[in-house]
Amino acid sequence: MSVYMLDGVVYEFIAVPCGTRYTTPLGLHWGPTPWARVYRSTRLHALIEEGVVERMILYSPLDPRDFILSIIHELDALLGEECRPPRPYTVAYECTPRIKESTRDYIDIACPGRLKPGAPAPYTRLYGAIVEALVLASKLGAGVVDEGFARACMQCCKWTLQRVHSGGQEPMALRELLQSALKRLCGDRCLEEGL
C-alpha cells in the first residue's frame, strides 16, 4: 500500500472521528486492510458501536506533544465543522471504520481508506524500541549501567517489538540488524535476554 510504511507494523496516529469534537491516539496496524484495536473503556469505542462514526481522519502530528494534548482532550476544542486534523501533520489517513471482531474488552476495526503521504512517515514504536535497545546495549557493553536494570529494560524493548509488528520481511530484517548490533555492543549477554 505504501512505499515507506511497512506491512505488519503498528503506526501511531491521532484519530479524529468525523462529526464529533473528539480526538484520541490510535495505533493502526498497517497492511492491505489496515486495522486498529479500540478498547471498550474508550469513548471512541462507544462512538463506533453506536454507529456515530462513519469516517475518521487519522493523522501523524508534526509535534509529538499532540499525543499528550489528545489524551487530555485539549485538541478537541480545536476541531471545527470540517473533518480534518486540528494541527500541522506529516501524514493523514482517511478511513471508514467497520467492526471486524468484538470481544468483552475491545473491538477490532477494519479501516480501509486512502493515505495522504508526507514526510516523515508516521511514528512507530518499532523504531523507538530498537533505538532504546541499542542505547542500553552500548551502556551495558561499556559497563555504565546496572545489569539488572538493563535486563528489565531489554525485556520492555522485547515486549514492545513483539507487539508493534507482526512479521513481514522488512521488520524481520530490522530484528536481524538489531541482533547483530546488540551482539557487537555487549556480546552474548544481550542475546541471552531473548532480543
Measured at the CA of 160, the angle between CA 17 and CA 181, to 5 degrees, comes to 130
Q: What is the mean pLDDT of each run of 10 residues along the chain (195 residues)?
A: 74 95 95 95 95 94 93 92 90 95 96 89 84 79 76 78 68 68 68 55
- For residues 96 and 133, membership in a common domain is answered with no
- For residues 96 and 35, membership in a common domain is answered with yes
Q: Are strands 10-17 and 113-116 parallel, antiparallel or unpaired?
A: unpaired
Nearest Cα neighbor of 166 from 28, 2, 40 is 28
pTM (predicted TM-score): 0.81
- For residues 14 and 109, membership in a common domain is answered with yes
- For residues 80 and 56, membership in a common domain is answered with yes
DSSP track, 140-155: HHHT-S-HHHHHHHHH
> How many domains in the chain?
2
From 116, 137, 165, give the residue that closes a domain.
Answer: 116
- Supply the range of the domain harboring residue 151: 125-192
